[in-house]
Amino acid sequence: MSSRPAEESRVWYALGALALLVGLAMRLALAAVAETPGHGDSAFYYTVASNIADGRGVVVDYVVYYFLGLVPITHYAGDFWNPLAGILLALPMLLLGKSVFNALLASIAAGIVPALVGFFAARRFARSSAVGVLVGLLTFFSTFMVTESVRTEAIVFFGAFGSLALFLVAKGRCRPRYFLLAAMCTGMAHFVRQDAVLLLPTLLACIGMAPIPLRRRFGLAAAAVAIHALMISPMLIRNYLDYGSALQPGPATPCS
């Protein structure tokens, strides 16, 4: 009798693995027919990634915003959008060559993470392998995740780091050291998108409510802020060198 739950779990895991392969095959097939990255944000991130793959660094070859007035046509690409998405999209192109398909390999890989987080979180909280697999698959095959996994956009990377951060925060209530790993993820998410800074106060609030001594809560909160800042320090340093401010001129400039 005791082996029956284990056998059922193996069946669900096998079904989940098979569905994962089908979902990856579908994404690769969609990426294979992409001839251009599209327009708007997707085109911007792909341009930055292509320039990185060419060895030119985090630059863009057109002016998106005029927060700094008339800037050179080719300039540092971090005046509004954070640079990590472009860097991540460039990684497969550095290894395999420059193409939309190869850039999308990074997006496809990142799109797996929220599904895995959903699986582990649901299995933990529901104490059921079946529920875990179903939640993971519903996440993986959701319209939004399929769409964003085949776009050269930042949101899929934000989703990967953000979902992992929230899962680690939940685990931190029982094992506080996970709060520090969560801080690494909030920092990486912030490196991808500016609105991810909201994950940091969320993390700090959860640390403040953790069932641990007050002194340890203060220590963990200070460490979390330091780790988050360390993760985004390359961006802050580059911003300061280019703009004289740790914050980008776009979001940091008040409307007049």
Task: List, for residues 119-150, the tens digit of each pLDDT value.
Answer: 999 998 899 999 999 999 999 999 999 999 99
For residue 215, name the pLDDT band (cuts at 50, 70, 90).
very high
Sequence-separated (6 or more) residues with CB below 8 Å from residue 149: 27, 104, 107, 108, 110, 111, 156
**For position 256, what pLDDT does the model report?**
46
Percent pLDDT > 70 in the chain is 95
**For position 151, what pLDDT does the model report?**
96
**For position 88, what pLDDT does the model report?**
97
**What is the distance between the alpha carbons of residues 194 and 81, in angstroms, rounded to a whole number?**
8
Segment 15-35, tens digit of pLDDT: 999 999 999 999 999 999 998
For residue 1, name the pLDDT band (cuts at 50, 70, 90).
very low
Segment 57-99, tens digit of pLDDT: 999 988 877 777 788 888 888 888 899 999 999 999 999 999 9
Segment 153-167, tens digit of pLDDT: 999 999 999 999 999
Residue 65, both tokens: 């915003």
Long-range contacts of the stretch 65-72 (C-beta < 8 A, 24+)? 65/250, 67/248, 67/249, 67/250, 67/253, 68/243, 68/249
Residue 135, both tokens: 């939640």
Exposure of 188 in the CB half-sphere (CA atoms within 13 A): 20
Segment 90-107, tens digit of pLDDT: 999 999 999 999 999 999
